[in-house]
Amino acid sequence: MPWRIRPEGIEVRVRVTPKGGRDAIDGVEALSDGRPVLKVRVRAAPEDGAANEGVRRLLAKALGRPASAVTLEAGATARLKTFLIAGEGEALAKDIAAVTGR
């Protein structure tokens, strides 16, 4: 799974497609090295952090959390990013599994 439960919430590995035409979570895919990532597309361009903010808000909305509960931990300028979603890890894992159909 592209997420990992941590004491403070859940860590999610994301592959972002900026300027993707719509804001959506497209499911889970495996990278060429076999690592799973959550595929996300956002309308925002990758300029001045707009795409990162779009992903942050999309994840928060999909999981029913406030945007302030989602923080970018790694990958600010890369397509592969790591987000931390604060909250009860087990419940968040179930919620994200439901969103992705896993």
The 10s digit of each residue's pLDDT in 53-96 is 999 999 999 988 999 999 999 988 899 999 999 989 888 888 88
Q: Hunting for tokens 């004491």 — which residue is that?
A: 7
Tally of domains within the chain: 1
Mean of pLDDT over the chain: 91
Predicted pLDDT at 93: 87
Cα–Cα dist 76/21, whole Å = 21
Q: Which domain holds residue 12?
A: 3-100
Cα–Cα dist 101/75, whole Å = 25
- Tell me the CATH number at 88: 3.30.1200.10
Predicted pLDDT at 46: 87
Predicted pLDDT at 57: 94
**Which residues, in sequence order, are CB contacts of 87 under 8 Å at separation 6+?**
9, 10, 65, 69
Q: Determine the 3-state secondary structure of 8 from DSSP.
A: coil
pTM of the model: 0.88
